[in-house]
Structure 1
């Protein structure tokens, strides 16, 4: 099977949203995601996980464009105003398309 191009949505946000976002992502059609701890500095200062309220997470979702647009639109409309959150979207070449059945042609 040849490589396939899909979309990658990366979300960096407050760790307190992890369970809510995991449920939302699945409800909006993603079959899987990866969540890791994230640290760094940005518009809201240093986020170093020294205490629970300063923890950030990074969520990565690979899916078709329609699903990525649905998720990113929902997050912008429902979370941007009240939470520290940034989204990045990009094309990715999937080298094991069998892991993304339903998204790859």
Structure 2
């Protein structure tokens, strides 16, 4: 079975950015997003779980490639220099293409 392809944008960043990122996603036209807490270890050390400012969040957006790249470029320009953040894009097959 063939399914339409969209792009999954995944961001993992400091929880302190949550409100700003939600506002950015709304302004940039994201069709929706999923936010969850995240924990792990990386170049900036171990990050605890939780929704306080010490934790990390994971933000996922499924959309067309052009929008995913625009959002990724925006967060890189605005936040990469001053916040712990990683971002990647993946091609995904979707079952309800009209939602994305």
Change (3 A) 1:51 1:12: closer
TM-score (norm. length: structure 1): 0.88
Change (3 A) 1:93 1:51: closer
1:38-53 correspondence runs (5 A): 38-49=38-49, 52-53=52-53
Aligned length: 99
Q: Residue in 2 aligned with 1:71?
A: 71
Structure 1's consecutive aligned runs of 4 or more residues displaced over 4 angstroms after TM superposition are none
Q: Does 1:95 align with 2:95?
A: yes
Q: Residue in 1 aligned with 2:14?
A: 14
Q: CA deviation at 1:50?
A: 6.7
Q: Residue in 2 aligned with 1:58?
A: 58
C-alpha distance in 2 between matches for 1:9 and 1:60: 6
Which runs of 5 or more structure 2 residues have no equivalent in the other structure? none
Structure number with bigger Rg: 1
